[in-house]
Structure 1
Amino acid sequence: MPRLPFRLRSARRRTPELTGARVVLRPPQQSDFSAWRALRAHSRAFLEPWEPKWPSDDLSATAFRHRIRRYDRDRAEGRAAPFFIFLKSSGALAGGITVGSIRRGASESCMLGYWMGEPHAGQGLMQDALAVLVPHIFGALRLHRIEAACIPENGRSSRLLEKAGFRREGYLHGYLRINGTWRDHLLYALIAEDWQAARGAAKASE
């Protein structure tokens, strides 16, 4: 396989691994293909109701190679920071989370997207991932606002965001085409000042 251009390899190296209580976040690599394909295939029925429709070749090696190159390009150009989520205890792949749609200038904001494999859902692992990623977004990435959207029926996602300190801000009609159908979404957001105030209050109560 051809080597990545230098700027893409450099961007991947500059992105740190983020270590939380039970998870480790790191940039996706081509060597993750087998684990990614196995987890996504096993979790397909679990994930499809909440994601864009899967292409027919979505789980192929070729599609994954293009995915990794797109991740690297987006990272190098400052548009996104994708991570895979691994279990700290075993190194097993559990899911993914992406800091996407990064906007600079007057906005300094991003949009979160995330997924968790079915065997690892409901265990608080995505909460652990957010606990280590949010400080990275407000600190190293120097963004001011994090947005996330979820389908109203996805109560698990709403509870995740609310527990992480996100505030519900609006209702987006026909926002994304999910599994072939345009779906409404709830818009959540967290800004740096609110996160810093909550962190300060938590420290003061210790």
Structure 2
Amino acid sequence: MRGSIRLICAAMALLDWMTDATGPVVEGHGTLLRPPRAGDYAQWADMRERSRDYLQPWEPAWPDDDLSRAAYRRRLGIYAREMELGHAWPFFIFDGTGRNLKGAITLSNVRRGVAETATLGYWIGQSVSGQGHATAAVRACTRFAFTSLKLHRIEASCLPTNLASRRVLEKAGFRNEGLAKAYLKINGRWADHLLFGLLPEDAEHGDVSPT
């Protein structure tokens, strides 16, 4: 029995190592962004659970097992494949030490060729909201998009009633480009969204301009 337990533990450790997403580390504006790792699970699940009522009005409906370790492992596998293909760049948001989780930010739906565009999405834990972490992460992530990925345009959206998210985008230099009716299914219902776009020259104070 003890031998079986050791084999199971070794297999789980190997799976953790295999599913650890490796990728760029982005620093700036007092924040650190890096791809999620298996070892982040406990901190991530705790923050998401404590922020459930705060986040759910602005997000797609959560699956029943969304915060389970198995679902998190599947998430890491998807992240690794998306980064390998260059289709998305998921990051966890940490303070400058890289130890204290604040939320997550993702560049997804990367389109190359004549578009050179990606979609930006993010969330911040309720206990650390309103402290500038989202704005810092957006600025750092869009700088990475323009300088390292050489993208031409970043798109984002938010519900018209999500004033905090709208202010984050505006402070980072995004321009309001209009209203899209029934744009995304949020918390089980199709919802209108404000659409925003960012070009390198629009970024506040040139923070994300290519060098």
Q: Under a length normalisation based on structure 2, what TM-score does the superposition of the two structures give?
A: 0.87
Aligned to 1:46: 54
Q: Which runs of 5+ in 2 are unaligned?
A: 1-11
Q: 1:199 aligns with which of 197, 206, 210?
A: 206
Q: Give RMSD over aligned pairs.
A: 2.1
Q: Which runs of 4+ in 1 moved over 3 A?
A: 1-6
SS across alignment from 1:102: strand
Between Structure 1 and Structure 2, how many residues are aligned?
196
Q: Which amino acid in structure 2 is aligned with residue 37 of structure 1?
A: A
* Among 92, 100, 109, the residue aligned to 1:101: 109
The equivalent residue for 2:32 is 24
TM superposition shift of 1:88? 1.9
Q: Which runs of 5+ in 1 are unaligned?
A: 201-206
- Are 1:71 and 1:82, in contact at CA under 8 Å, matched by a contact in 2? yes
Q: Is 1:156 the counterpart of 2:164 in the alignment? A: yes
1:187 corresponding residue in structure 2: 195
Aligned to 2:168, what secondary structure does the other structure show?
helix
Is 1:72 matched with 2:80?
yes
Structure 1 Cα separation of the partners of residues 78 and 158 of structure 2: 24
Residue equivalent to 1:143? 151
Contact 1:149 1:188 in 2 (8 A): yes
**Counterpart in 1 of 2:71?**
63
Q: Which deviates more from structure 2 when the two are superposed, residues 45-54 or residues 123-132? A: 123-132
| In structure 2, C-alpha distance between the alignment counterparts of 1:199 and 1:176, rounded to whole Å | 31
Aligned residues of 2:182 and 2:190 also touching (Cα < 8 A): yes
Task: Measure how far apart 1:132 and its partner are.
Answer: 1.5
How far apart in 2 are the matches of 1:39 and 1:76? 27
Query: Which amino acid in the other structure matches residue 162 of structure 2?
Result: N
More displaced stretch, 185-194 vs 98-107: 185-194
- TM (norm. structure 1) is 0.89
Task: Identify the match of residue 131 of structure 1 among 136, 139, 151.
Answer: 139
* Structure 2 contact 32–98 (Cα < 8 Å) conserved: no
Choose the corresponding residue for 2:180, options 172, 188, 206.
172
The one of 93, 98, 117 equivalent to 1:85 is 93
Q: Deviations over 1:93-130 (max 9, x none)?
A: 11000000100000000000100000110001111112
Report sequence identity in percent.
45
